[in-house]
Amino acid sequence: MTYFRLLRKNLTRKKLRLFLTIFSIFTAFLIFGVLKTFDHALNAGVELAGADRLITTSKVSLIQPLPFAHYTKIKATEGVKNVTHASWFGGYYQEPKNFLASFAVDAESYLDIYPEIFIPEDQRTNFLANQRGVLVGEALVQQYNWKIGDTLPLISSIWTNQDGSRTWEFQVEGIFYDKEEQFDTRSLMFHYDYFNEGRAGARDSIGWLIIKTESPELNEAVSKAIDDQFANSPNETKTDTEAAFGKAFLEQFGNIGLIITSVVGAAFFTILLVAGNTMVLAVRERTNEIAVMKTLGFSNGRIFTLIVLEALLLVLLGGLPALGVSWFMVEALKSAVGGGLPPMALTPEILLQAIAYMLLLGFVTGGLPAFNAVRINVAAALGRKAI
């Protein structure tokens, strides 16, 4: 018998058990793949936060606008390298279900502060030159088939313009990409001036400010200097690092994400534990046989390798297809839930992590009994049979 044939025979000696074990491992890694993707998507904003960026909002709440004057005042604060501001437009395209993350921004400083927003140079110039220009994310372009030069009417759920309608017209001047995998390109931005001059009310107010400090060490001092400046005024502020802001925002979804991940994570390990236990027992049953193989002259090393390989093969047979199926599930989820979720992608890191877990599981469940197997005393093992 060749090595491989022996491996195969060992693996398939109890077909039902083989199937059940593979199936358990399959379900465990399916859960892992989908959940990790989900979890990763939820946390993407935090990981991408710039270390030297701060966010200033109204102390009352994120939705309470700040006066435009805050922008100029913060710009003059010591330790501040650059400032930009943004306002939530609350727009949708054609109908409310096509809700879009849309902002009115001070374009030049916004693009400076967010270098990860990547646009070709000529588009950048055109966008900056056209007051009605809008910069749309790659993902939106794919979804709605917009082209550069298109006139894009967007409806705001908040802002009425001066002719009393809530439809605002823009011109697509640029498409931005993300160089990293997870930056959300399902958003769009346009010029604050066009928006501010066009709106019927709340003129000269802004939503929030993003500040780039001279260096990350100054973050704390600058935050304090800004908030102190507006203390006891009608528009008090709250300044935090971008990471803290992102984390606090995620925290708002709160327990739900945590509950789903931790509880189902527990299930992942239980299923693996039970499957692993079965695999260990399956080898232990073969003690006699291993003793016979040893008698026939199989070296310890060969027996060890054979058992570990068998375990690895079993785990990979269950785990790898599961990753494939989780990819399909993630795609299905994306189209089912749509805009309600952050962008999800089964990233290479998740795949590598899953494979690492598979290898670990294989080595542990194969290694333990293999270790016992090479240690067995042939006479004692064969003697056991007689009892």
Maximum CA extent, the chain:
97
User: How far is residue 376's CA from residue 381's CA, in Å, rounded to a whole number?
Assistant: 7
Which CB atom, from 272 or from 312, has the smaller least distance to other proteins?
272
Q: How many residues does the chain have?
A: 387
Least Å distance, CB 93 to other proteins, is 12
* Cα–Cα distance for residue pair 256/250, rounded to 1 Å: 11
Q: How far is CA 210 from the centre of its chain?
A: 23
Question: Measured from the CB of residue 199, what is the shortest distance to other proteins in angstroms?
Answer: 12
What residues contact 313, with CB distance under 8 A and at least 6 apart?
A: 7, 11, 362
Minimum distance of other proteins from residue 64's CB (angstroms): 7
Closer Cβ to other proteins, 3 or 253, answer by number: 253
What is the smallest separation between the CB atom of 73 and other proteins, expressed in angstroms?
Answer: 17
Residue closer to other proteins, measured from CB, 2 or 255: 255
Shortest distance, position 380 Cβ to other proteins, whole Å: 18
Task: Say how far apart CA 237 and CA 226 lie, in whole Å.
Answer: 8
CB of 38 to other proteins, least distance (A): 6
CB atoms within 10 A of CB 141: 19
Q: Closer CB to other proteins, residue 214 or residue 289?
A: 289
Q: Which is nearer to other proteins, 117 or 346 (CB)?
A: 346
- Output the CA–CA distances (angstroms, integers) from residue 124 to 84, 99, 117, 319, in the order listed: 17, 25, 11, 46
Pick between residue 17 and residue 302 the one whose CB is nearest to other proteins: 17
* In the complex, least distance from residue 51 CB atom to other proteins, rounded to whole angstroms: 20
Applying CB under 8 A, which residues contact other proteins? 16-17, 20-21, 23-24, 26-28, 30-31, 34-35, 38, 58-64, 90, 92, 96, 99, 155, 157-158, 166, 232-236, 238, 247-248, 251-256, 259-260, 263-264, 266-267, 270-271, 273-275, 277-278, 281-282, 285, 329, 333, 336-337, 340-341, 385
Supply the minimum distance, in Å, between the C-beta of residue 368 and other proteins: 13
* Structure tokens, 319: 């785990």
Q: Show the DSSP H helices in the chain as ranges.
A: 3-11, 15-48, 69-75, 107-113, 121-129, 138-144, 192-198, 219-230, 242-253, 255-284, 287-295, 300-337, 348-375, 378-386
The residues near 92 (Cβ < 8 Å, ≥ 6 apart) are 98, 99, 100, 154, 155, 157
DSSP 217: G
Beta bridge partners of 133: 171
**129 or 386: CB nearest other proteins:** 386
User: Based on CB atoms, which residue is closest to other proteins, 264 or 351?
Assistant: 264
